[in-house]
Structure 1
C-alpha cells in the first residue's frame, strides 16, 4: 500500500481544527490536531489521536488536557502549534483550574485523563469532559492538506 496515497485519501475527509493544550508544571504546551471526536455523552468523553513520536505524546500521557476548537480567523494559531511558531504569540493564554486554554477559541473542552489506547503509530487519548464552553462563529476547516472554510447555510 502506498502510504502517501492513503494519507491523501484520508485528506478527503473534511475536519475542524483544534489545538490540544496541557501544562507541565508552569509550562504550557500544545499541538495542532484535526483527529478529534466526541465519543460518549454518558459519561462525557472525547478522543484525540496523537503521534507517538511527538513531544506532545509525552506531555499528554496521564495529564489533563484542553481541546481548543479554532475559529476561521485563527489559522495563525494552528500554524504556531503545527511546528511553524511565531516569534510573538498570535493568541493569549487563559489560565483555568485544568491548565491553559487559548483565549477566544470557538469552543474549549477541558478534560481529565480517562484512558489511552494503542493506535499504531498514534496513541488514542480519551478524556472525561469536566468543563466546556462555546461561542457562535465560523470554524476553521481542514481539507486535502489545506485550511479551508466550512460554509454554513
Structure 2
C-alpha cells in the first residue's frame, strides 16, 4: 500500500479542529530575552515532571531555546495582543511587561530546564523538566480553526 501525501493546507485545517490553549515560550540568551507564540504544548509526565513544546524550525528564536532553560507562559483570554506580538506582529508599544523571563499577568508559568530535544520533521520537539510553576484561576486564551477563541467550562 502506498502512502498518500496530504495537501499541507488541508492537513493544517484538519489539525486546527483540535482546540488548544495559547502559550508564549520565553528564554534568556546572551542576546537578551526572546519569546515566540506556541499552541503546540502538552504535559508529558508527572514523575518526573516533564512538558513538551513543538517549535517550527523556521522560528527565529529556535537557536536561543536549544540547550537553554525556558518558561512556558499560558496566556489569558485578554492577552491576544501579547500572542500576536510574539507571533511576529509586534505593536509599537509592547502589550506586556517582563518579570524576569516571565510575561507578567499570564494565567500560569512553567519554568523548565532542558531535558531532551527530538527531530519532529519541520519542527523540533523540546522536552523540559519543570523546575517551578505558578497558576491562577481565569479564562485562558484559546485557539481553534486558525483563530483565537475562548475556552469556557460546560
TM-score range, shorter chain: over 0.9
Q: Report SS of the residue matched to 1:54.
A: coil
Counterparts of 1:34-73 in structure 2, within 5 Å, are: 34-73=39-78
TM-score by length of 2: 0.95
Q: Measure how far apart 1:125 and its partner are.
A: 0.2
**1:23 and 2:28 are equivalent in the alignment:** yes
Deviates more, 1:102-111 or 1:21-30: 21-30
Counterparts of 1:1-150 in structure 2, within 5 Å, are: 1-25=6-30, 27-95=32-100, 100-150=101-151
Q: For each residue in 1:52-82, what CA deviation from the matched residue of structure 2 results, as whole angstroms up to 9, or x when unmatched?
A: 1221211100000000000000000000000
TM-score by length of 1: 0.95
Q: For each residue in 1:37-56, what CA deviation from the matched residue of structure 2 results, as whole angstroms up to 9, or x when unmatched?
A: 00000100000000112212
* C-alpha RMSD of matched pairs (Å): 0.8
Instruction: Kindly name which structure, 1 or 2, has the bigger radius of gyration based on alpha carbons.
Output: 2
Q: Which structure 2 segments of 5+ residues have no match?
A: 1-5
CA separation in 2, counterparts of 1:115 and 1:139? 28
Structure 1: which 4+ aligned runs deviate by more than 4 Å? none
Is contact 1:43-1:128 (8 Å) kept?
yes
